[in-house]
């Protein structure tokens, strides 16, 4: 899921493990642990798109990494406090600025959501986030910058447990999305994807974060602190269970819809659309086409509608050898759910259909996630993610507006 959600989950794990020993430091270190697996995105600066995309949610999201990294990180954290580095002004300046940047980016992202949906600037989102920002900066000033930190005494075992749970829960949560997580690396590149929750879901994240913010305002031994932390954790688990029930409902309805239309299919998948768990996308594969549709829990009738037909066009890749690196990557990454469109000359557009369409039609080439398959300067096949043009963006804004109208009001 998104980085902010992983920070919240990691902070909750840190608090649950070491809150009574470390206070709010447990949340901070847990948040750091929850962020570490996503640092694999920096591979994009050192290698090509195929390698960096393959590495993301790879080894650093594996169970082996979660088992090994905490021993090193725990030793580093203990040494950090034993040498009183946390009291140095240089350290405090660096991390204060880091938290400011991280918080500002997160808040800007939240406020950009209605703009991306075509709704424009929203005071209903800006004012609460502004109030949260004022609270955050006051806490950063009074409880961090102005405070003379005391010594920290926590056994090595506590640090290892803190980092284990904050790192281990990260790939588990990612498995609930439809991107795919390689939890068995380096022994297998199979990606686990349960497809029950969107990669960004405010209804999961916001209540969870509120519980932790409330908990952070109590002293470490106050029972309300532990209670609010566990309320957030229970909300997290309960919401994921709720999304699993939604998935079973959608899958049953989709099977009935395909049966009623006498459609024969080989396999199908379902997953929630972005930012919510109310409107779901469904995709079934037949011999020659895909069937794509939407199911909304607020719709007047509990059925998949509309049902669009997407061409496969797999034959457009027949001239590329099956062992070609770019082709193998695209088939692996999309889990075989892809179609192909001519783009420009020899260049082809390969659409990852797991992410569906923005909306319910093919207007303006309305695919969410696409790659361009082209020949690079060495004459070898290569891939890069397709960037949307201005016309695509305008169509996307309208489609997102239509999507959230269906989320709120049904069809």
38 pLDDT tier (thresholds 50, 70, 90):
very high
Asked if the model's pLDDT at residue 117 lies above 60, the reply is no
pLDDT in tens, 376-395: 999 999 999 987 655 566 66
| CB 52, CB 42: distance < 8 Å | no
The model's pLDDT over 272-305, given as tens digits with 9 standing for 90+, comes to: 998 899 999 999 999 999 999 999 999 988 889 8
Q: What percent of the chain has pLDDT over 70?
A: 91
Mind listing the pLDDT tens digit for each residue in 23-35? 888 998 999 999 9
Name the least confident of 12-21, 142-151, 166-175, 400-409.
Answer: 142-151
CA 106 to CA 101: how far, in whole Å? 9
DSSP string, 81-141: HHTTGGG-HHHHHHHHHHHHHHHHHHHHHHHHHHHHTT----HHHHHHHHHHHHHHHHHHI
Q: What is the mean pLDDT of residues 330-344?
A: 95
CA distance 290 to 275: 24
pLDDT of residue 252: 96
Q: How confident is the model at residue 143 (pLDDT cuts 50, 70, 90)?
A: low
Those residues whose C-beta lies under 8 Å from the C-beta of residue 279, and which sit 6 or more positions away, are: 272, 273, 294, 295, 296, 297, 403, 406, 407
């Amino acid at each position: 899921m998104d980085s902010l959600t992983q920070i919240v989950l990691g902070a909750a794990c840190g608090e649950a493990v070491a809150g009574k020993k470390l206070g709010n430091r447990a949340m901070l270190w847990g948040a750091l642990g929850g962020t570490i697996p996503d640092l694999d995105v920096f591979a994009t600066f050192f290698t090509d798109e195929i390698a960096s995309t393959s590495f993301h949610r790879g080894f650093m999201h594996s169970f082996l990494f979660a088992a090994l990294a905490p021993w090193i990180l725990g030793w580093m954290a203990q040494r950090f406090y034993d040498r009183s580095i946390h009291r140095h002004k240089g350290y405090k300046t660096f991390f204060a600025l880091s938290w400011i940047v991280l918080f500002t980016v997160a808040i800007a992202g939240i406020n950009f959501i209605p703009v991306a949906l075509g709704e424009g600037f929203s005071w209903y989102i800006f004012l609460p986030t502004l109030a949260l920002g004022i609270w955050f900066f006051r806490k950063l000033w009074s409880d961090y910058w102005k405070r003379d930190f005391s010594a920290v005494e926590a056994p090595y075992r506590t640090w290892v447990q803190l980092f284990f749970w904050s790192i281990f829960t990260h790939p588990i949560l990612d498995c609930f999305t439809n991107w795919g997580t390689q939890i068995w690396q380096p022994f297998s590149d199979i990606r686990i994807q349960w497809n029950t929750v969107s990669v960004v879901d405010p209804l999961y994240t916001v209540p969870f974060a509120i519980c932790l913010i409330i908990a952070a305002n109590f002293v470490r031994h106050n029972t309300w602190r532990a209670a609010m932390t566990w309320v957030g954790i229970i909300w997290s688990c309960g919401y994921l269970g709720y999304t699993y029930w939604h998935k079973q409902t959608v899958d049953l309805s989709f099977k009935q819809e395909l049966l009623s239309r006498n459609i024969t299919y080989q396999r199908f998948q379902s997953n929630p659309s972005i930012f919510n768990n109310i409107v779901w996308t469904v995709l079934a594969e037949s011999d020659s086409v895909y069937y794509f549709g939407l199911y909304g829990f607020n719709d007047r009738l509990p059925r998949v509608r509309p049902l669009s037909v997407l061409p496969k066009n797999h034959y457009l890749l027949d001239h590329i050898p099956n062992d070609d690196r770019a082709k193998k990557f695209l088939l692996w990454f999309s889990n075989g759910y892809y179609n192909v469109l001519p783009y420009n000359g020899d260049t082809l557009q390969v659409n990852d259909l797991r992410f569906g369409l923005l909306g319910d039609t093919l207007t303006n080439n309305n695919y969410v996630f696409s790659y361009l398959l082209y020949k690079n300067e060495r004459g070898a096949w290569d891939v890069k993610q397709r960037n949307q043009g201005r016309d695509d963006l305008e169509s996307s804004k309208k489609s997102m507006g239509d999507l959230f109208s269906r989320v709120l009001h049904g069809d």
